[in-house]
Amino acid sequence: MFTGIVESTGEVVAVQAEGTNRTFTMKSELARELKIDQSINHNGVCLTVVAVEGDTYQVTAIEETLLKTNLGTFDEGTKVNLERCMSANGRFDGHIVQGHVDQTAICTNVQERDGSWLFDFEYDASTGNITVEKGSICINGVSLTVFNSEANSFRVAIIPYTYSFTNFHSLKPGDTVNLEFDILGKYIKRILGSYAV
């Protein structure tokens, strides 16, 4: 489990195809603190550490993950938001994030607003996922608050720290991002759906 508070960014330094899977070698300041079998969130996707060497580590994404997230677009040089699993004795600063991406979205607009930034996103609403005004959303592993919530789109505001510390500073219209919708909202929608006439 994660909180959506990015600890660091990493860089993809190698991509190796293994059948339908891909193994990513990541360079990060977190590498020396990692152990094999640990879970780490990559742009919102929970992956298992399979090797560690110096300031690099490796994770493997299966075909299903590559098809349903933006990990399939990762190349050497790609900057990735990273978060280790939540510590049981720490503060819960974001919201409950499982690291299970629900779907992707497209960035449709970026506006700079005198030191902060507004990002607009559109997603396929036929999947049944929804946002709510002032609710939580996880975008590329970052816990954010939704506004301008519509049936298939929403907006988020990014403060300068988040803009520079995460990979939001490189995001532009047309880019694909990973979305994980709020787990509480998903359960409520599922429960209420079972009572629909």
* Strands across the sheet containing 153-158: 142-145, 136-139, 176-181, 103-113, 116-122, 153-158
Q: What is the pLDDT of residues 57-81, one digit of tens each?
A: 999 999 999 999 999 999 999 999 9
Question: How many whole angstroms separate alpha carbon 39 and alpha carbon 111?
Answer: 34
- Residue spans of the domains in the chain: they are 8-84, 103-193
Q: What is the pLDDT of residues 101-156, one digit of tens each?
A: 999 999 999 999 998 999 999 999 998 899 999 999 999 999 999 999 999 999 99
Closest CA to 5 of 161, 176, 119, 149: 161
E strands, 75-139, are 79-84, 103-113, 116-122, 136-139
Mean pLDDT of the residues in the chain: 94
Stretch among 42-56, 93-107, 108-122 having the lowest mean pLDDT: 93-107
Question: How many whole angstroms separate alpha carbon 42 and alpha carbon 26?
Answer: 10
Question: How many whole angstroms separate alpha carbon 188 and alpha carbon 181?
Answer: 12
Q: What is the model's pLDDT at position 90?
A: 73
Identity (one letter) of the amino acid at 27? K
The single-letter DSSP state of residue 167 is: G
Comparing 143 with 196, which gets the higher pLDDT?
143
Question: How many whole angstroms separate alpha carbon 51 and alpha carbon 34?
Answer: 9
pTM of the predicted protein model? 0.91
Q: How many residues does the chain have?
A: 197
Identity (one letter) of the amino acid at 153? S
Architecture label for domain 8-84: Beta Barrel (2.40)
Question: How many whole angstroms separate alpha carbon 67 and alpha carbon 73?
Answer: 10
Report whether pLDDT(197) > 80.
no
In words, the CATH class of domain 103-193 is mainly beta
The contacts of residue 81 (CB under 8 Å, 6+ apart) are 6, 9, 41, 42, 43, 44, 140, 141, 142, 166, 167
